[in-house]
Every structure is written in structure tokens, then in C-alpha cells.
Structure 1
């Protein structure tokens, strides 16, 4: 099984191997299937979060019955697992950074963070994160290309995460407990098959909804998957491990992951959800040769995000919700308004 450090290198090599004109390196489905304009029009920059209405917000608020709060983010730290060559480094300049000032001798500290800020730890994938190499260029959500005016290495302009952040997410959260369904943590998939126990299919989603006794998944919902893979890197005990144990767990976490197969992703898209999330690093299954239910790596990313504007939250801590069997809850979160960024860190909140 390739680690996702190796996978990142393979993806980069595939892109670098030829330009948009190299037929073997293009996928024109976004053009021939007319993925753009989106259902919200050619000027839309926010995606499926547009489905949120005052009525859906008020309905979601009524799910708060016990007054409990769960924070779903994990701790950002230099020793946490990260995709490819991504890393996190935090330093406190000066110690203290400034002061003393005035007669009371005030001092203060700042922090300097060096990281891929939108794509590290608990992370949100926005409009500028996932695209498709087509014969007309690098295609992103709603028919935008990396060569468009206003899109540059200094910021992605109309693809920036701030456009989603203007809306924010207030929705009915749905927890799908695949660990309960399978009778234990799901394994990394070995085959491109709906029968592989590490791949969660559309039928599995229907069965979990039925077993958990919750209302069917519907428009405006935010859907979260518990696979058990996230327990390899769990915030409650991570700092108790020594460096060798952490390194072993990072390698195990990065080696692949159970998750949604493409049939489940298409099922959720048909029900017009607005967000997916999970306790692992890609939400979808990453198994044999980095594929899932099909051989294509990250097929759900393409079909949900690039095609439909249904965004993604990765590396969530769902343990409190699982322990309380809180399968429906009020979910509240917004990306940071980082102009032109691909995504955002954050600490989402579930209330129930």
C-alpha cells in the first residue's frame, strides 16, 4: 500500500508529464458533460451551501435538545499526520515578542506559523482546491480555469475560499457510524469493489440511516462518516505517545483509508447535501493504487467538489458524537475569510 506521501508525488508527476494538450493526461468530462454553469448560475462562487435557507436553519436548530456541545477539530501540531510534504511549524518570536510597555510593564507574545494553512490537520476543501486537467486547461468549479483573469499564485480570485465563507454552514448534521455497521474499525480497502469492507457504498448509507433511526438524508444536510481510522491519531491520547510510536501511527494513518465509495458520493449528491466530512484525511476511500470503489484516485473529490460544489471537511474528531450516539445535530462552522485561499483550518461545532 502506497503512503499518501508517495501518492502526492505520483499525482504531481502525472500532471507534470504533459501539458493540457497531451491527450493521455486530460479528462474532458467537465466540458462534454457541461458541468458549468452550476445550478446557481455562471457567477456563483460558493457552491452547494447556497441550498441553505432560513427554514432549513430553523429546522436544524430544533435538533438541539440536550444542550450539549462537541468541538470537532483536531489539534494543529508539528508531529500530526499530513498529506505529502505538507507540514506545520509554529514559533513564538522573541519570548516575549514585545514589551515591556508602560508603568505596568506589559509584555505580549505572538505566534508565527509556517504551513499550508488551508490544507493541514482539520481542513476544509474549497472551490480552488480540486480541479481537472482538460484539453482547454485546468478546470475548477463552475467552469473556471487556473489561467483565468484574477487567478494567480498570489490568490485564486473567484475560486477563493472567502466566497464560501460569506455563507457559512448552519445545517442539520448527520453522523453515519460505519464502525457500528461493520462491527469494528474499517480496514484500508484492498480491492476496487463495493464488497470491500473498507468501502462505504450507497447501500451502506441507506442501511446506517435505517439502523440509526434517523430521518432520510435530504437537501441542505451536512453528512459525516465515522470509520474508526481517525482513532490512529486521536487528540485525547496523542501526546502520551513517544516519538517512535507517533511515527508508526503517522505511517499507518497515511497508508490509505476507508471511506465513501463513489456510489455513496453520488447517492449523497442526488439528495442535494451541502457538505461531507469524516474522521480521516480524504473522506472517501483510498485503497489499492490510491483508488476507491473505482480505480480513479479521489473520484468523490472530483464528482462532488469540482462538478457540484459540495465541499469537504477532513480529519474531524467525531468521538463525542459517536459515544453519545448523536446521529443528528446542529452543525455550525465557517471557513476563515482568507482571500484567494484553497481551503481553511477550523474547529467546527456540533450542538445537540
Structure 2
């Protein structure tokens, strides 16, 4: 998500409100002070169910590289992460520093980045409409830093359970989905059936679209031209399915976990509103499922232990994470 998304017009905001007027809600389900939403479904029993998916001992990290030479995948308008070396061997050669007592030396660096500029989790209060965040917190709680529904409660809790990967690109007969390709509930269910995997209640749903890999293949000039991410589109049936299945977390390898300006309803980011704001479903974005998907195609195991925790950043709208998938 990018800061520009909050610049919708009043008419668009009203359209979102009307569109989701009868959409299901989990507000109050876990009390008036809840800030982690559907992650409450991930009980200790669900963690153990995820552990039972570990059958081979294979470990995959699904975070994108931060500060890569070809550029990090991030929403247009955001600035790439900047890593800066602060201390190196040259610091000692120049005489800026002296070796430590005993002769040891060290290097140091720092990084400046958008907290949602790489593989990351959204805070539940990141997106809102009608001036209310997840669970009914007022939107004014975001002023100067998120006082409620920030990323910190999710970071302190962690996200662990049974993950299921669906290769939506391969299901659509492509190596990578392209700008404007749309997905619906039938695609999710059809892909799962084709892969021979059953999506169960409380599963962490992971979708591979492959789209962000085109950044490295096409280069940024082509990739960001007329930018339009492929992805899920809004429908009442899709939202009801997420609600009925009590999905705690949606994880994809795209920037927004949905197509941006949904052409079917003419509303921007309706699933952020229907799933995250209303149902409290955690959004994990900009993952890299390439190696994991390749291995799943090879051995036919599409479920795994999913484990992740964003950085503990106070009052933040999101934070980077490195997802672990253990098969």
C-alpha cells in the first residue's frame, strides 16, 4: 500500500461505504480492545496443526531482498531503501577511528526505507473508511503515529500456522501473471483442486502470482509503465468465503494483495476494507514464493508451517518481515 491510496475522493469513500454496507464484520468478536483481529484464530492448536505439515525439514525464506541492484519492488511514488555504510576498513585507514583495545575493528551501517517498502505486514489500522479503523477505533488515532491497531500488537504476537500455497499463475497457464489479470473465488478453489490440496479453516492463504519478478526481467522502466497490479477482485462471495473459512492471514507476492482500482466495482482497494478493516485479516505483502513454488511443484506438497513476525516498530502502519515456510 502507498500513501497515495488515502487520497481518494469523498465520492469514492462513499462508494466503499455503500459497497460494503452488508459486508460481514468481526468487530467486537474478540472484545473492544482487540488489535490483532483474525490472528486470534491462530491458537496453540492451530500452531500444532501447522507443525504437523512439517514432513521433510525443508526451510524456505520468502522475503524479498532489501536494497537489490535491480531495485526493490515497491509502489510507485515510494523511494527505494537506502543502505549506507557508516564505518568500514577505510574509516580506520583514514584515521577516523582507532582499533579497539586488543586490535579488533568493526563495520557498521544503517538503512532508510519505507516500512512497507519490502516484504511486510500491514497494521490492521493501515486502511479505513467512514473515519473508523479496525474494530471501530477512530481514524484520528492515526494522527502522528498509530495509537491503536498499529503493527506492534501483530509483531508482539507473531503469525504461525498452517500455510497453503496456491500457484495462481500456473493455474492460469502463465509463468507470471501480468498487468490487469484478475482473480476471483472460483480461481482460488479451482487452483486448490488442481493442485490436490485442501484449504482448511484457519489456514494462512498464500498466493503466487509471480508478477513482481517481471521487475527483474523487464527492468523498472517497462515494469512501472502504466502500472496496474494483477490480483484478487472484490465480490460478496469471496468476502463471505474468507469470513466463513476464518482465514487469519492473506499472503501474496504482490504489493497490495489485490488489484488496485477494482474494475468490477470501480472502487480502490475494496478488499483492504472488506477483509482487513472489517474482518481483521492480516495482510502480508510483497513475498517471494518462487523457490517455494518450484519445490512444491516438484514434490507435490503445498502445505507447510508458516511462521513470520514483523519488526516491533512502535505506532507504525506496517513493518518488514521475512516469512519462513517449513515443509
What's the counterpart of residue 279 of structure 1?
Answer: 253
Q: CA deviation at 1:274?
A: 0.6
Structure 1 residues 215 and 14: CA distance shift in structure 2, 3 A: closer
Q: Distance in 2 between matches of 1:159 and 1:127?
A: 5
CA deviation vs aligned residue, 1:220-261 (integer Å, no higher than 9, x gap): 21101111212213xxxx4xx8xxx63335415x71121112
CA deviation vs aligned residue, 1:112-163 (integer Å, no higher than 9, x gap): 222222x11112111221111x2xxx21111011324xx531x212222111
What's the counterpart of residue 45 of structure 1?
Answer: 35
What's the counterpart of residue 155 of structure 2?
Answer: 165
What's the counterpart of residue 319 of structure 2?
Answer: 344
CA contact (8 A) 1:260 1:283 kept: yes
SS at the partner of 1:284? Answer: coil
Q: CA deviation at 1:333?
A: 0.5
Structure 1 residues 95 and 114: CA distance shift in structure 2, 3 A: same
State the aligned residue count.
310
CA contact (8 A) 1:50 1:167 kept: no
CA contact (8 A) 1:48 1:274 kept: yes
Q: 1:82 aligns with which of 52, 70, 74?
A: 74
CA contact (8 A) 1:232 1:249 kept: no
1:229 equivalent in alignment to 2:211: yes
Q: CA deviation at 1:205?
A: 1.3
RMSD value over aligned CA atoms? 2.7
CA contact (8 A) 1:100 1:106 kept: no
Q: Distance in 1 between matches of 2:244 and 2:74?
A: 31
Q: Distance in 2 between matches of 1:222 and 1:25?
A: 29
Q: 2:190 aligns with which of 207, 222, 238?
A: 207
What's the counterpart of residue 103 of structure 2?
Answer: 105
What's the counterpart of residue 219 of structure 2?
Answer: 246
Q: Distance in 1 between matches of 2:263 and 2:31?
A: 31
CA deviation vs aligned residue, 1:165-224 (integer Å, no higher than 9, x gap): 2221111101111122111133322xxxxxxxx221111111112111112331x21101
SS at the partner of 1:303? Answer: helix
What's the counterpart of residue 295 of structure 1?
Answer: 266
CA contact (8 A) 2:151 2:318 kept: yes
What's the counterpart of residue 306 of structure 2?
Answer: 331
Q: Distance in 2 between matches of 1:309 and 1:175?
A: 21
CA contact (8 A) 1:160 1:342 kept: yes
After the TM superposition, which of the residue ranges 257-266 and 28-37 deviates more from structure 2?
28-37
Q: CA deviation at 1:295?
A: 1.8
